[in-house]
């Protein structure tokens, strides 16, 4: 069931990327990136089980964000990525601060347990929240630089996308897993999590290639 | 509460200063999603029980008044459509989020499905776009009658926020809280919305006069 939901989540995100891109052009890509980024931080609060290992849900939407960054590089080059990274950094600082502050607000006696759960949820997952906020910033930068070089060498959407997906998904999985799980679980489990996260991210990135190709056609038109 | 409000205003100010209209749009998106997230908690502000989403929610309207004063009707229409689209996307994504089966270990610590409920999400999804649409129309109507925009903002909030708060609270806490508790929360939300809007008037004034750094 969780895999079906993952598929729907990715599909829905891609549909909205195309929708925002068609309607708002470059601005739409920045906007959808910010939406995906904030939602990925919220998603990191929930863990799901894959092969008896707990994996935060926040791994899916940042991978979709990489697709958006590829579209931006394809369209506007590295300048757009500088702007995107800057916007996302500020968003990360604001959203993490506001989440922490909101959890510190004195809970009301109405629905007391729910209010306490809100506080506990953010307190217990602070490491995952920060990891989900930091990882995409690093990965988007590496991904875009690599994608841009490949684009200059050989302007082929499929080659650029698949090659970067192959490498970047791995780097992404390593950074994320180390930030979230280091010193919490045994090393061999971390390796298995890296492998699972890598496979999921790589598959999403492969689907994303079609979206980048589709948007390239829109640019050409 | 004050600290959250200050951070939101600083974010709006600097995002506009450096990104122009895109900055305002991004702030609008940020506040829209924050309204969804914060709607799950009821907090105590100055001893009054209030849904904490009132802070980003009221800030959306502060931003809306700034947008109306700075940009043409056609551009405002685009921004409202953008907020509606964001709300649709956020709601759909949250519905998927709720549907995921949480890991067993995680459920023992905190069952997130107890916290993130369908009703507050749906109420924000229904009320927010409607409120933005109606407030825009109401504010424009008042602007035709009265020239003082700050009085119009206050009248608009006083006139509209009560109905909005009551409907939103009923939708969010229907069958969860009793009617007295729902009314207490909605009146508190109404009160804080008015206070936030009044406190924000100097900020709105500052933003209307502010120029973008290119």
Cβ separation of B41 and A98 shorter than 8 Å?
Answer: no
Chain A CB contacts of B45 below 8 Å: 105
Cβ pair B85:A16 closer than 8 A: yes
Query: Would the CB atoms of A94 and B41 count as touching at under 8 Å?
Result: no
With beta carbons under 8 A apart, name residues in chain B contacting A27: 22, 25
From CA A192, how far away is CA B148, in angstroms rounded?
Answer: 64
Residue A92's pLDDT is: 92
Distance of CA A37 to the CA centre of its chain: 6
ipTM: 0.86
C-alpha B155/C-alpha B141 separation (Å) is 11
User: Which pLDDT tens digit goes with each residue over B119-128?
Assistant: 777 777 788 8
The CA–CA distances, whole Å, from A195 to A7, A24, A53 equal 19, 37, 12
Residue of A nearest to B181 (CA): A110
Q: What is the pLDDT of residue B138?
A: 87
What are the respective helix, strand and coil percentages of chain A, to the nearest 5?
85, 5, 10
Contact A102 B7 (CB under 8 A): no
Tens of pLDDT along A192-206?
Answer: 888 888 888 888 888
- Dihedral sign, CA of B19, B22, B28, B34? negative
Among the listed residues A84, A61, A75, the one whose alpha carbon sits nearest the alpha carbon of residue A219: A75
How much is the pLDDT for B207?
A: 86
pLDDT category, B8, cuts 50, 70, 90?
A: very high
Residues of A in contact with B44 (CB under 8 A): 105-108
Q: How far apart are CA B53 and CA A6, in angstroms?
A: 28
d(CA A211, nearest CA chain B) in Å: 18
Q: Binning pLDDT at 50, 70 and 90, where does residue A55 land? A: confident
Q: What span, in angstroms and rounded, lies between the C-alpha atoms of A131 and A181?
A: 10
Q: How confident is the model at residue B86 (pLDDT cuts 50, 70, 90)?
A: confident
Strand residues in chain A grouped as ranges (E) = 47-50, 53-56
């Amino acid at each position: 069931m969780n895999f079906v939901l993952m598929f729907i989540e990715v599909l829905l995100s891609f549909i909205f990327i195309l929708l925002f891109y068609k309607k708002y052009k470059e601005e739409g890509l920045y906007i959808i990136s910010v939406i995906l980024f904030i939602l990925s931080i919220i998603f990191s609060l929930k863990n799901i089980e894959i092969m008896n290992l707990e994996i935060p849900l926040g791994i899916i939407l940042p991978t979709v964000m990489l697709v958006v960054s590829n579209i931006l590089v394809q369209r506007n080059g590295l300048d757009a990525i500088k702007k995107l990274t800057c916007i996302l950094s500020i968003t990360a600082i604001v959203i993490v601060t506001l989440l922490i502050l909101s959890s510190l607000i004195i809970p009301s006696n109405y629905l007391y347990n729910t209010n306490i759960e809100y506080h506990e949820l953010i307190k217990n997952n602070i490491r995952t929240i920060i990891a989900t906020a930091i990882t995409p910033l690093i990965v988007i930068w590496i991904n875009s630089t690599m994608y841009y070089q490949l684009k200059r060498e050989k302007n082929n959407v499929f080659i650029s996308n698949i090659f970067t997906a192959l490498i970047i998904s791995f780097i992404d999985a390593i950074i994320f897993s180390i930030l979230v799980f280091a010193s919490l679980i045994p090393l061999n489990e971390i390796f298995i999590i890296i492998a699972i996260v890598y496979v999921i991210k790589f598959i999403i990135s492969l689907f994303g290639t079609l979206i980048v190709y589709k948007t390239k056609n829109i640019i050409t038109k | 509460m004050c600290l959250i409000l200050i951070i939101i205003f600083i974010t709006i100010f600097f995002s506009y200063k450096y990104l122009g209209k895109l900055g305002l749009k991004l702030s609008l998106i940020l506040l829209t999603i924050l309204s969804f997230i914060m709607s799950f908690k009821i907090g105590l502000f100055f001893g009054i029980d209030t849904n904490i989403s009132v802070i980003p929610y009221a800030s959306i309207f502060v931003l809306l008044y700034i947008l109306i004063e700075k940009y043409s009707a056609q551009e405002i229409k685009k921004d409202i459509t953008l907020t509606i689209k964001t709300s649709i996307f956020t709601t759909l994504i949250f519905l998927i989020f709720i549907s995921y089966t949480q890991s067993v270990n995680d459920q023992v610590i905190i069952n997130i499905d107890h916290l993130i409920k369908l009703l507050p999400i749906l109420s924000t999804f229904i009320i927010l776009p409607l409120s933005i649409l109606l407030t825009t129309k109401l504010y424009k109507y008042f602007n035709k009658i009265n020239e003082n925009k700050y009085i119009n903002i206050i009248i608009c909030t006083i006139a509209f926020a009560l109905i909005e708060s009551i409907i939103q609270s009923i939708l969010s806490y229907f069958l969860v809280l009793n009617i007295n508790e729902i009314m207490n929360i909605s009146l508190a939300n109404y009160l804080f919305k008015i206070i936030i809007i009044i406190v924000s008037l100097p900020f709105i004034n500052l933003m209307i006069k502010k120029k973008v750094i290119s």
